[in-house]
Structure 1
């Protein structure tokens, strides 16, 4: 009898243990299933986000492929039509870590008093002769032989004088040759940037050489934006710009403008310098009429990458750096006062006293982009503009040019 009772007791214990184990297993399975369902929802949400991102990446890739094909020819090849057959050394003196660019200075000193040619404002730098009664020179690094060279630079006189000249010579070996291009100071305009252009004799160009720009004019002389090409000055893309494939052309009478659109975000001044890599006289776009404003807005809306960029603002060429609330277009020889504006309501407001640069900032219901002022150190996408007079393109556009 006791044996039967013991066996029953053991059976009871086993039943309890089995039931407890089964409940534990069931609870564990339910917990695992809940976790997996939760993860499934997270996975589906993540998959949806990844799909959206992939779609956006596909659109951007399509824009990139189109830009490459337009700019460089068929994918994987180099388009001859957009390949300049020359190299450019461009010294704008704006790079602080390489302020002298390719030139060593003697009696020239860097200036930042608002007279510079690169920006035409206090943002930029140039060089001037700090002794106006002594000879001052700029001597380049060594350039390699080529069939042709074109040397161009801007200079400006502080005051009228009939004494002295600016000359350009080449040095082969230890001693410079005679100047092959000289500009007498008499009858030169005062306070205006003058473009000098010089083509060395081919005899010099068969050997490595240095370029020497010498000034003996007896007033302060400013020099900026030295351009050295290993090609004739008449080459397309030197005196007159060549609008790159992917750029957009707009014509108004004899005046032609080429616009290039850049989604990569840069600071205001860096954006201007990036424009000048397209062509040294290019700069951020100057929007001067309602018609041009509409043209720019339409181009942004037709480009997926720039439409995305516009959500964060796009630099244009206006600022009031020199004089607060006196906005001008910069990036050419002299600032140009605004004669047309498209400010958003309440703009400009110079928030925190540190908003001097202008961008397309506020998208309207009809797809336009109204203007706002922001800090110049912010990084935004940008639009470059090259403007030139097609009637002057075969020779030169700039009115004050001394060609030698």
Structure 2
């Protein structure tokens, strides 16, 4: 017997056998082995043909025909095609995986580069912060040194002026008044509690100090009656602020209708200086109100008249100003008090309560008050001022008080900067504000530096930096 290899790992067993040999198929070691009996030409196809008109897949004796061989070859070819297709699909998948690996590698490289850049930025930021802190410390030292030098120069100038006066006297020359007054007075009073209520002012009647003067002069809050006085104080412009007023009801009850009355409010004593400027707010609303007179009181007596103000029957506060020259101020004296605008802003870094901040603004200027913001342009202007100064940016992390307040009516915020509250028409609240947490948040704060200093409401007793505004 011979073994002949056939395509597809199919082996034919060919041999010369006796007549009893029967063709057939068998498998051995995973191979198909065909036993074929050789005969004359065309006898192979004739096997089993007597019973069928067409070639069959099996002989009548159960063996394999030539059609079986052709079919197996066709199956092998189809299998090879399928294997080739699978190989192509696997190759394509490997290609896509290689592309994905390349993309992943590129992404990792980019991420690594960004991490390195972020680390470099952090190093730079730390370096700049260190330089900034050094600059702030150096600036504070410079300011402290400058202040000390100015104080020394001022004292040297005072001493030199005194020595000059002594030398002139020794030389028989007429002496000149010292050019510098080191003890001149600066004074402010809003008649609030922390100032000692009356700020050392004293109440008088026409006949001098009497037991009734305490009843005639009242430290008032709110409006005394519908017939007289302002709506509220000028300092806070809220129901918690105070001012001094004449008690008209007491006078009417204790005097006849034909009587006239003089009431005086006398200031503390001022030290000598070349001149003084006295500024005050007054209200003359009521019936039969007489002129307001201002005197410079030297030593005893009523003093010298320096200002006469005619009454204006209005609930609005009016501004009064008196310049007193050296004829009066060369001596110790007391003061007796019977629209296009330009704004000037000052930023105060020392934290104060909202009420104390108002008083500090008024100390700085006769018409000073906490800033009010009328539109987006004004708000942006203030924010730009803050952002252009590293000191203000640092201070602003705690926010800045402005003059908004809803103390009189919850959630009805008003500006308190002109003697009479005005409703806020422009606002710039942070989302969720105002929220009145704890039911005691009545004052407006430029609270959120990371959101362009949008506003929030806080308790008026909290201490924050603030912005003062003066309008001219």
Against the structure 1 CA distance between its residues 304 and 197, is the aligned structure 2 distance closer, same or farther, given a 3 Å change threshold? closer
Unpaired runs of 5+ in structure 1? 1-49, 215-252, 389-404
Against the structure 1 CA distance between its residues 56 and 90, is the aligned structure 2 distance closer, same or farther, given a 3 Å change threshold? same
Aligned 8 A contact 2:372 2:417 in 1 = no
Query: Which residue number in structure 2 is paired with residue 402 of structure 1?
Result: none
Tell me the C-alpha RMSD between the 2 structures.
3.4
Pick aligned residue for 1:380 from 464, 467, 472: 464
> Partners of 2:443 and 2:405 in 1: how far apart?
4
Aligned 8 A contact 1:272 1:331 in 2 = no
> Partners of 2:420 and 2:289 in 1: how far apart?
26
Where in structure 2 are the equivalents of 1:5-404 lying within 5 Å?
57-62=133-138, 64=140, 68=143, 76-77=149-150, 87-105=185-203, 106=213, 107-113=216-222, 115-131=232-248, 133=251, 134-159=261-286, 161-177=287-303, 179-185=305-311, 188-200=312-324, 203-214=327-338, 255-364=341-450, 368-388=452-472
The Cα offsets for residues 85-119 of structure 1, whole Å up to 9 and x where unpaired, read as: 97532222124352211411232111121611122
Choose between structure 1 and 2: higher strand proportion: 1
> Partners of 1:201 and 1:51 in 2: how far apart?
56
Against the structure 1 CA distance between its residues 198 and 303, is the aligned structure 2 distance closer, same or farther, given a 3 Å change threshold? closer
Aligned 8 A contact 1:265 1:382 in 2 = yes
> Partners of 1:298 and 1:96 in 2: how far apart?
35
The Cα offsets for residues 163-194 of structure 1, whole Å up to 9 and x where unpaired, read as: 42221223333322453433343xx1310112
Against the structure 1 CA distance between its residues 198 and 264, is the aligned structure 2 distance closer, same or farther, given a 3 Å change threshold? closer
Output the TM-score relative to the length of structure 1.
0.63
Structure with larger RCO (C-alpha < 8 A, sep 6+): 1
Output the TM-score relative to the length of structure 2.
0.54
> Partners of 1:260 and 1:172 in 2: how far apart?
36
Unpaired runs of 5+ in structure 2? 1-125, 155-179, 204-212, 223-230, 252-260
Aligned 8 A contact 2:285 2:313 in 1 = no
SS of alignment partner, residue 187 of structure 2: strand
Against the structure 1 CA distance between its residues 75 and 153, is the aligned structure 2 distance closer, same or farther, given a 3 Å change threshold? closer
Aligned 8 A contact 1:63 1:305 in 2 = no
Choose between structure 1 and 2: higher helix proportion: 2
Aligned 8 A contact 1:65 1:75 in 2 = no
Against the structure 1 CA distance between its residues 360 and 144, is the aligned structure 2 distance closer, same or farther, given a 3 Å change threshold? closer
SS of alignment partner, residue 356 of structure 1: strand
The Cα offsets for residues 236-263 of structure 1, whole Å up to 9 and x where unpaired, read as: xxxxxxxxxxxxxxxxx95322222222
> Partners of 1:362 and 1:178 in 2: how far apart?
53
SS of alignment partner, residue 441 of structure 2: coil
Deviation of 1:141 after TM superposition, in Å, equals: 2.5
SS of alignment partner, residue 88 of structure 1: coil
The Cα offsets for residues 323-379 of structure 1, whole Å up to 9 and x where unpaired, read as: 111111113322221111111111111112111011112234xx6121111111111
Against the structure 1 CA distance between its residues 347 and 92, is the aligned structure 2 distance closer, same or farther, given a 3 Å change threshold? same
> Partners of 1:117 and 1:177 in 2: how far apart?
28
> Partners of 2:297 and 2:388 in 1: how far apart?
52
Aligned 8 A contact 1:284 1:317 in 2 = yes
Aligned length: 291
Q: Computing the radius of gyration over CA atoms, which structure comes out larger, 1 or 2?
A: 2
> Partners of 1:63 and 1:285 in 2: how far apart?
27
